[in-house]
Amino acid sequence: AQSVTQLGSHVSVSEGALVLLRCNYSSSVPPYLFWYVQYPNQGLQLLLKYTSAATLVKGINGFEAEFKKSETSFHLTKPSAHMSDAAEYFCAVSDQNTNAGKSTFGDGTTLTVKP
């Protein structure tokens, strides 16, 4: 079985500050890991993905994440927050052997950006 835990259901940062959203995973086989963003009343949009190539993954909108096997983590970061980054962020995991690439999502982290 696979799962992800997102630490902190709400994160608030000031505009221009570092964004750090935490995700820890549990998987019995090498995982694929994803971060998605969801704006109000919208579907989820893929930000970035880890697929066992480079451990530091760069995504859209200036976000990046680092896969750390020893810590079973895949935290999402952005050096400087913009107001437009305010949204819900979901970490997801699927294993490389799973049927049909099914992903399991974390409970999400709401990012608030203060002016």
Partner 1 sequence: DAMVIQNPRYQVTQFGKPVTLSCSQTLNHNVMYWYQQKSSQAPKLLFHYYDKDFNNEADTPDNFQSRRPNTSFCFLDIRSPGLGDAAMYLCATSRVSQGAGGYTFGSGTRLTVV
DSSP state letters, 45-106: EEEEEE-SS-SEEE-GGG-EEEEEGGGTEEEEEESS--GGG-EEEEEEEEETT-GGG--EE-
**Nearer Cβ to partner 1, position 68 or 102?**
102
**Nearer Cβ to partner 1, position 8 or 16?**
8
The token pair that represents 77 in the structure block: 């970061």
Q: Is the dihedral of CA 34, 107, 19, 1 positive or negative?
A: negative
| Site residues for partner 1 per CB under 8 A | 32, 34, 36, 41-46, 49, 51-52, 90, 92, 94, 96, 98-103, 105-108, 110
**Nearer Cβ to partner 1, position 108 or 113?**
108
Q: How far apart are CA 85 and CA 89, in angstroms?
A: 10
Beta-sheet pairing, 31-38 with 87-95? antiparallel
Q: Least distance from C-beta 9 to partner 1, angstroms?
A: 8
**Nearer Cβ to partner 1, position 36 or 85?**
36
